Amino acid sequence: MQTEKGLAEDLRRIVGPDNVHEATEEDAVEGVEPDFVVEPGSVQEISDVMKLAASEGLAVAPRGSGTKTHIGDPPRRLDLIVSTARLNEVLEHTPGDQIVRLEAGVKLEDLQEHVSGSDQMLAIDPPESGATIGGIVAANSSGPRRYRYGTIRDLIIGITVVLQDGTVAKAGGKVVKNVAGYDLSKLYTGSLGTLGIIANANFRLHPRPEAARTVAVEVAGPQQAQAAAQAIVHSQIEATAVELHYGEDEKRLKVLLESIPGGIDAKTETAFFLLKQFGEVRTLSDEEADHPGHLTTAEVVLKIGAPPADLAAVLESVFGAAERKGFGHPRITGHAGSGVTLVGFSGESEAGAAGFVEEMREIWVRRGGSVTLQRAPLTLKQRVSTWDNGGDYLGLIRRVKEKFDPRGGMNPGRFLGGN
Amino acid sequence: MERSRLIREMEGIVGAEGVVHEHEQLRTYECDGLMNYRVIPNLVVLPETGDHVQKVVKLCYDEGIPFVARGSGTGLSGGALPVESGVLIVLSRMRKILEVDIPNQRIVVEPGVVNIWVSQEVADEGYYYAPDPASQIVSSIGGNLAENSGGVHCLKYGFTTNHVMGAEVVLPDGSVTHIGGGRAPDAPGYDLLGAFVGSEGTLGIATRITLRLCRVPEAVRTLLAGFEDTEGAGGTVSGIIGEGIIPAAIEMMDRLTMEAVEAAVHPGLPDAGAVLVIELDGPEAEVEEQFGRVLEICEENEATEIRVAEDDEERALFWKARKAAFGAMGRIANDYYVQDGVIPRTELPAVLGRISELAGEYGLRVANVFHAGDGNLHPLVLYNNETEGEAERAEKLAGEIVFACLEHGGSLTGEHGIGEDKKKYMPRMFTDDDMNVMQLLRCAFDPHQISNPGKIFPTPRLCGERPGPFHMHPLQKAGIVEQF
Average pLDDT, chain A: 96
How far apart are the C-alpha atoms of A418 and A408, rounded to whole Å?
11
User: Is A173's CB within 8 Å of B437's CB?
Assistant: no
Share of chain B above pLDDT 90, in %: 92
pLDDT-derived band of residue B468, with 50, 70 and 90 as boundaries? very low
pLDDT tens figures, A167-184: 999 999 999 999 999 999
Q: How many residues are listed for chain B in this entry?
A: 484
Q: What is the pLDDT of residue B475?
A: 58
Among B287, B416, B437, B438, the strongest candidate for a mutation testing the A interface, having the largest count of A CBs within 10 A, is B437
Which of B411, B404, B303, B414 shows the shortest CA–CA distance to B352?
B404
Q: Is A11 exposed, middle or buried (0-12, 13-18, 19+ CB in 10 A)?
A: buried
Q: How many residues are listed for chain A in this entry?
A: 419
How far apart are the C-alpha atoms of A275 and A285, rounded to whole Å?
18
- pLDDT of residue A367 exceeding 80, the answer is yes
Cβ contacts of A388 on chain B, cutoff 8 Å: 188
Give the residue, A357 or A389, on which the prediction is more confident. A357
Which of A168, A305, A387 faces B184 most closely, judged by CB atoms? Answer: A305
Average pLDDT, chain B: 94
How far apart are the C-alpha atoms of A384 and A24, rounded to whole Å?
27
Question: What is residue B217's DSSP assignment?
Answer: P
Question: Residues 6 or more apart from B50 whose CB is under 8 A from it?
Answer: B94, B110, B168, B170, B176, B207, B208
Instruction: Tell whether A168 is within 8 A of chain B (Cβ).
Output: yes
Cβ contacts of A173 on chain B, cutoff 8 Å: 409-411, 429
- pLDDT of residue A330 exceeding 90, the answer is yes
How far apart are the C-alpha atoms of B333 and B79, rounded to whole Å?
25
- pLDDT of residue A261 exceeding 50, the answer is yes
Which of B286, B409, B417 faces A263 most closely, judged by CB atoms? Answer: B286
Between A311-324 and A350-364, two packed helices, what is the crossing angle to 10 degrees? 150
How far apart are the C-alpha atoms of B136 and B146, rounded to whole Å?
14
User: What is Dmax (Cα atoms) for chain A?
Assistant: 70
The angle at the Cα of B267, spanning B266 to B271, to the nearest 5 degrees, equals: 95
Among B149, B243, B416, B440, the strongest candidate for a mutation testing the A interface, having the largest count of A CBs within 10 A, is B440
3-state helix, strand, coil in chain A (%, to 5): 35, 25, 40
Cα of B242 vs its chain's centroid, Å = 28
Question: Residues 6 or more apart from A400 whose CB is under 8 A from it?
Answer: A187, A195, B190, B192, B441, B444
Cβ contacts of B418 on chain A, cutoff 8 Å: 179-181
Which of A311, A365, A368 shows the shortest CA–CA distance to A343?
A311
Which chain A residue shows the shortest CA-CA distance from B148? A179
Lowest-pLDDT range of A259-273, A345-359, B276-290, B318-332? B318-332
Q: Looking at this protein, which amino acid is placed at residue B210?
A: T
Q: Looking at this protein, which amino acid is placed at residue B155?
A: L
Asked if A30 and A74 touch (Cβ cutoff 8 Å), the reply is yes
Residue B338, H or E segment: strand B335-338
Asked if A38 and A81 touch (Cβ cutoff 8 Å), the reply is yes
CB atoms under 10 Å from CB of B300, counted, come to 12
Asked if A381 and A73 touch (Cβ cutoff 8 Å), the reply is yes
Handedness of CA A399, A401, A404, A406 (dihedral sign): negative
Cβ contacts of A184 on chain B, cutoff 8 Å: 195, 437-438, 441
pLDDT-derived band of residue B481, with 50, 70 and 90 as boundaries? low
For chain B positions 338-377, those within 8 Å of chain A (CB to CB) are 342-346, 371, 374-376
Which of A119, A170, A390 faces B434 most closely, judged by CB atoms? Answer: A170
Q: What is the pLDDT of residue A390?
A: 82
List Cα–Cα distances, B211 to B72, B108, B381, B437, B447, in angstroms: 19, 6, 35, 29, 28
Which of B177, B282, B430 faces A393 most closely, judged by CB atoms? Answer: B177
Which of B126, B191, B418 faces A181 most closely, judged by CB atoms? Answer: B418
Instruction: Tell whether A238 is within 8 A of chain B (Cβ).
Output: yes
Q: What is the Cα Rg of chain A in Å?
A: 22
Asked if B107 and B118 touch (Cβ cutoff 8 Å), the reply is yes
Which of A175, A390, A403 faces B342 most closely, judged by CB atoms? Answer: A175
Asked if B277 and B249 touch (Cβ cutoff 8 Å), the reply is yes
pLDDT tens figures, B379-430: 999 999 999 999 999 999 999 999 999 999 999 999 999 999 999 999 999 9
Q: What is the pLDDT of residue A329?
A: 86
Q: What is the pLDDT of residue A279?
A: 96
Q: What is the pLDDT of residue A328?
A: 85
Q: What is the pLDDT of residue B382?
A: 96
Asked if B457 and B420 touch (Cβ cutoff 8 Å), the reply is no
For chain B positions 418-437, those within 8 Å of chain A (CB to CB) are 418, 422, 426, 429-431, 433-437
Strand A36-38 and strand A80-83: pairing? parallel
User: Is B286's CB within 8 Å of A179's CB?
Assistant: no
Interface size, chain A vs chain B, as Cβ–Cβ contacts under 8 Å: 271
Q: What is the pLDDT of residue B476?
A: 57
ipTM over 0.90: yes
Provide long-range contacts, Cβ within 8 A and 24+ apart, for A19-25: A19/A86, A23/A81
E strand residue ranges, B228-324: 249-254, 274-282, 303-308
- pLDDT of residue B470 exceeding 60, the answer is no
Taking residues B452-466, report their average pLDDT. 83
pLDDT-derived band of residue A1, with 50, 70 and 90 as boundaries? low
Bridge partner residues of A170 (DSSP):
A160
- pLDDT of residue B471 exceeding 50, the answer is no
pLDDT tens figures, B300-348: 999 999 999 999 999 999 999 998 898 899 999 999 999 999 999 999 9
How far apart are the C-alpha atoms of B247 and B258, rounded to whole Å?
22
Strand B67-70 and strand B87-90: pairing? parallel
Q: What is the pLDDT of residue B480?
A: 57
pLDDT tens figures, B219-242: 999 999 999 999 999 999 999 999
pLDDT-derived band of residue B151, with 50, 70 and 90 as boundaries? confident
Cα dihedral A123/A129/A134/A135 (nearest 10): -120
Which chain B residue shows the shortest CA-CA distance from A171? B434
How far apart are the C-alpha atoms of B459 and B301, rounded to whole Å?
47
Which chain B residue shows the shortest CA-CA distance from A154? B162
Among A115, A161, A165, A177, the strongest candidate for a mutation testing the B interface, having the largest count of B CBs within 10 A, is A177
User: Is A154's CB within 8 Å of B158's CB?
Assistant: yes
Q: What is the pLDDT of residue B474?
A: 54
The arrangement of strands across the sheet holding B205-212 comes to B97-101, B106-109, B205-212, B164-170, B176-179
pLDDT-derived band of residue B467, with 50, 70 and 90 as boundaries? very low
Q: What is the pLDDT of residue B477?
A: 58
Among B190, B200, B203, B463, the strongest candidate for a mutation testing the A interface, having the largest count of A CBs within 10 A, is B190
Distance from CA of A171 to the nearest CA of B (A): 7
List Cα–Cα distances, A105 to A24, A43, A52, B189, B434, in angstroms: 21, 12, 21, 23, 22
Taking residues A228-242, report their average pLDDT. 98
Cβ contacts of A269 on chain B, cutoff 8 Å: none
pLDDT tens figures, B65-114: 999 999 999 999 999 999 999 999 999 999 999 999 999 999 999 999 99
Asked if A271 and A257 touch (Cβ cutoff 8 Å), the reply is yes
Which of B224, B200, B391, B362 shows the shortest CA–CA distance to B305?
B224
Instruction: Tell whether A338 is within 8 A of chain B (Cβ).
Output: yes
Which chain B residue shows the shortest CA-CA distance from A205? B244
Q: What is the pLDDT of residue B466?
A: 45
For chain A positions 84-143, those within 8 Å of chain B (CB to CB) are 94-99, 119, 140
User: Is B104's CB within 8 Å of A94's CB?
Assistant: no
Distance from CA of A337 to the nearest CA of B (A): 9
Q: What is the pLDDT of residue A394?
A: 96
